[in-house]
Structure 1
């Protein structure tokens, strides 16, 4: 759920562009390559512009990659990026909303990927994400990948993250950087154990949870 804008010349017609997605895609891909299975089904939550989906599906051809976003504008952008990517394993976007279970997929998944969502949404969206992961990651070892900035009790908050947190709360008091420990506790209550914490560029974290 990165901030998006209209594309400059040279980008797919109808596509949105997220500068953050452009910056962090390759760093995230490095982590995904190391930890996702070689084959399986992946659902991406809050896929935003669709740039990540296009990049990851093209680089991970053994995975069936399905992006999703509750926003019709985002889904149109995802389709524009999908058409340009030409990756046979990249499927049309679903209208999945963490606040509405009516459109959640019911089929089993091997991985759920969620980038930059839980701090730009109410806590109930994080709760929904964990419920969805519990319901769809049915095999032990099924993976939930989260990326974004977090508060951590033992780590001083970077000034840039503190300013970002303030700007988010100014936009919506229900938004803001989440405490990593609270996210871990929530995940554990849904049968998911934290197996990786990796520092990423620009004071972000990659977190991997696995179904136990």
Structure 2
């Protein structure tokens, strides 16, 4: 279960390069780390920390952007391997929305299950939004209204189903969705199972 995502207004971080893959987002040597707490320390690690341990100049270490919850990325964001830790690390750092022209398919699937909203917009729009982010604009996301704004002006609608809006608003992961939407069917199955094979429950 993640924190609910209903509305937010925030600065945004711009990372416009193409094909930022999951190994860049979450380097492979950290894959044995499965505790979601502290995942943010691994996020873009090789872009943030040099070979001698020196701090590199990276937007995720800019104090002015520490509370940013939106990332504006380039095409192919999250391509590469299927590691779910890439999503966990972004969410642990505080990112709740990623805007890009397109995403790695598995990354986008993992994102939806972990409270990270992926917004696909045309490449020219993303370039404009990246420039606005660098200039300090405030990005707004309103899921019930299904709208993205920048400095209060509408930029785009959000193509989200009622089910998706509810899941983000409740902070439901995939298991929460099943338990909250399918619980009656689960109980009927369990009751039928007990009736057909009672010796399994003796």
Which of 1 and 2 has greater Rg?
2
**TM-score normalized with structure 2 length:** 0.30
- Relative contact order: is structure 1 or structure 2 higher (C-alpha 8 Å, sep ≥ 6)? 2
